[in-house]
């Protein structure tokens, strides 16, 4: 009898995987690896809080609004505290920008080489109805000298400068998906062992798909180009799938193929999603998986941020679908550029006296 069959391998843990991949960063001496482990630890704690939210009084509204003007949920606040505490205690991060805080957060780790942009709990309006929610994070190397507090220049770097990005999805299973610029890998949390195990190595997103994800409740205020693209999806008999949690919609489309769209609308003229801690990290991931991300006319990661909570339109997913959406928007723009100017209104003749 083969004794190995009595105790099959459980797989590769996240910690072991990170250590093996450390050689991908010739400039790093273990700090980035430690930082990723700090994020994973906070994710485990937040996962525990979410799983027991129906049993203790941590569900529901907190009673205040965040800097975005959105009603905070209790778990928004808890997740924010957990991640900030883990990043502060880990010692590798000098400054954090979070969806839940108006100002930059100085950790006191002035020797830290990294800054983190984070949405601690994406889709929090779905908490009370037990729908998948998530965490999104982005990591940059600071550009200011160490030994002092991080600066706005450290936090306001374009997405092309990211050294790592990822998300955690808390759903039927809890997964952590991340990239360091060398492909995308997904890890599933094994509760009994308290470890993330490699479950989705080298994720490649399909070049195209048959799923479109958009809030059609705002369709009356879509631009003609976006409206035409949505109609194209319907003409092709695509499936409409919109959960309302960015991480959940993105995760499904990443694995199955599709496109997620949150365009500019009359209510949100610059789009609703935040560039630094929602759009850029997911753009980095999708590009590493072979997909594409855009604001409709320009690559997401090339946008120069001006403020920490900057918003932008978002088109992300399978490369061919994003390019198709861009083509409809380009036609709309071209039509507007070539629209003849209105004829001047003739002046009334002045009656002679």
Tell me whether residue 262 is annotated as binding. Answer: no
Separation CA 229–CA 320 (nearest Å): 13
pLDDT at 345: 54
Separation CA 347–CA 132 (nearest Å): 62
My answer on whether 228 and 283 are in the same domain is: yes
Determine the average pLDDT of the residues in 133-145: 97
pLDDT tier at 351, thresholds 50, 70, 90: very low
Question: With 80 as the cut, is the pLDDT of residue 294 above it?
Answer: yes
The answer to whether 62 and 74 have CB atoms below 8 angstroms apart is: yes
* 129 vs 143: which has the higher pLDDT: 143
Q: Closest Cα to residue 104, out of 90, 89, 123, 118?
A: 118
My answer on whether 51 and 141 are in the same domain is: yes
Tell me whether residue 280 is annotated as binding. Answer: no
My answer on whether 127 and 184 are in the same domain is: yes
pLDDT tens-digit profile of 301-348? 999 999 999 999 999 999 999 999 999 999 977 666 555 555 555 545
Note whether residue 343 is domain-resident.
no
Q: How far is CA 196 from CA 12, 89, 151, 253, 339, in A?
A: 8, 21, 33, 22, 56
pLDDT tens-digit profile of 7-55? 656 799 999 999 888 776 666 668 999 999 999 999 999 999 888 765 4
Question: With 80 as the cut, is the pLDDT of residue 62 above it?
Answer: no
Determine the average pLDDT of the residues in 263-273: 92
My answer on whether 40 and 175 are in the same domain is: yes
pLDDT tens-digit profile of 172-195? 899 999 999 999 999 999 999 999
- Maximum CA extent, the chain: 118
Note whether residue 342 is domain-resident.
no
My answer on whether 30 and 124 are in the same domain is: yes
My answer on whether 217 and 188 are in the same domain is: no
Tell me whether residue 119 is annotated as binding. Answer: yes
Tell me whether residue 123 is annotated as binding. Answer: yes
Note whether residue 179 is domain-resident.
yes
My answer on whether 92 and 182 are in the same domain is: yes
Query: Residue 288: which H helix or E strand, with range?
Result: helix 280-288
Tell me whether residue 122 is annotated as binding. Answer: yes
Q: Range of 248's domain?
A: 211-337
Tell me whether residue 220 is annotated as binding. Answer: no
My answer on whether 192 and 244 are in the same domain is: no
pLDDT at 266: 86
My answer on whether 43 and 192 are in the same domain is: yes
Tally the C-alpha atoms within 13 A of residue 26's C-alpha that lie toward its C-beta: 0
* Distance, CA of 95 to chain centre: 19
My answer on whether 29 and 134 are in the same domain is: yes
My answer on whether 168 and 286 are in the same domain is: no
Note whether residue 206 is domain-resident.
no
Q: Residue 134's domain is classified under what CATH number?
A: 3.30.540.10
The answer to whether 181 and 163 have CB atoms below 8 angstroms apart is: yes
Separation CA 38–CA 350 (nearest Å): 79
Question: With 90 as the cut, is the pLDDT of residue 129 above it?
Answer: no
Tell me whether residue 310 is annotated as binding. Answer: no
Q: Closest Cα to residue 204, out of 322, 317, 291?
A: 291
Separation CA 233–CA 163 (nearest Å): 34
Tokens of residue 110, six digits: 């002035």
Tell me whether residue 24 is annotated as binding. Answer: no
Note whether residue 4 is domain-resident.
no
Note whether residue 39 is domain-resident.
yes
Separation CA 234–CA 240 (nearest Å): 8
Q: Average pLDDT, whole number, for the chain?
A: 89
pLDDT at 352: 41
Helix axes 224-235, 319-337, angle to 10 degrees: 140
* Distance, CA of 35 to chain centre: 18
Tell me whether residue 125 is annotated as binding. Answer: yes
Tell me whether residue 260 is annotated as binding. Answer: no
Contacts of 60 (CB under 8 A, 6+ apart): 73, 74, 128
Q: Which of 176, 200, 224 is the last residue of a domain?
A: 200
Tell me whether residue 149 is annotated as binding. Answer: no
My answer on whether 164 and 230 are in the same domain is: no
> What percent of the chain is modeled with pLDDT above 70?
84
Q: Residue 238's domain is classified under what CATH number?
A: 3.40.190.80
Determine the average pLDDT of the residues in 230-234: 97
Note whether residue 217 is domain-resident.
yes
């Amino acid at each position: 009898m083969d004794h190995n069959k009595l105790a099959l391998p459980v797989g590769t843990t996240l910690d072991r995987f990170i250590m093996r991949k450390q050689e991908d960063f010739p400039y790093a001496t273990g700090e980035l690896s430690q930082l990723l482990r700090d994020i994973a630890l906070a994710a485990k704690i937040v996962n525990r809080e979410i799983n027991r939210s129906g049993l203790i009084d941590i569900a529901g509204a907190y009673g205040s609004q965040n800097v975005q003007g959105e009603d905070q949920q209790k778990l928004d606040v808890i997740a924010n505290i957990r991640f900030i505490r883990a990043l502060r205690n880990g010692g590798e991060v000098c400054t954090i920008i979070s969806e839940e805080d108006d100002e930059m957060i100085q950790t006191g780790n002035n020797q830290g080489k990294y800054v983190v942009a984070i949405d601690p709990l994406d889709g929090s309006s779905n908490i009370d109805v037990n729908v998948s929610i998530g965490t999104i994070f982005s990591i940059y190397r600071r550009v200011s000298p160490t030994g002092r507090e991080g600066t706005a220049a450290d936090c306001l770097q374009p997405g092309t400068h990211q050294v790592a990005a990822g998300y955690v999805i808390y759903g039927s299973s809890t997964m952590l998906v991340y990239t360091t610029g060398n492909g995308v890998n997904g890890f599933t949390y094994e509760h009994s062992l308290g470890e993330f195990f490699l479950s989705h190595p080298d994720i490649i997103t399909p070049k195209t798909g048959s799923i479109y994800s958009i809030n059609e409740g705002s369709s009356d205020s879509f631009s003609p180009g976006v409206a035409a693209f949505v109609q194209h999806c319907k003409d092709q008999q695509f499936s409409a799938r919109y959960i309302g949690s960015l991480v959940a919609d993105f995760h499904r489309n990443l694995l199955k193929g599709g496109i997620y769209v949150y365009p500019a609308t009359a209510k949100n003229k610059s789009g609703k999603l935040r560039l630094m801690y929602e759009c850029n990290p997911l753009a980095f991931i999708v590009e590493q998986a072979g997909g594409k991300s855009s604001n409709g006319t320009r690559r997401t990661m090339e946008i120069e941020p001006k403020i920490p909570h900057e918003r932008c339109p978002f088109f992300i997913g399978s490369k061919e679908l994003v390019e198709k959406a861009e083509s409809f928007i380009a036609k709309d723009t071209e039509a507007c550029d070539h629209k003849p100017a209105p004829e001047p209104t003739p002046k009334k003749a002045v009656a002679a006296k």
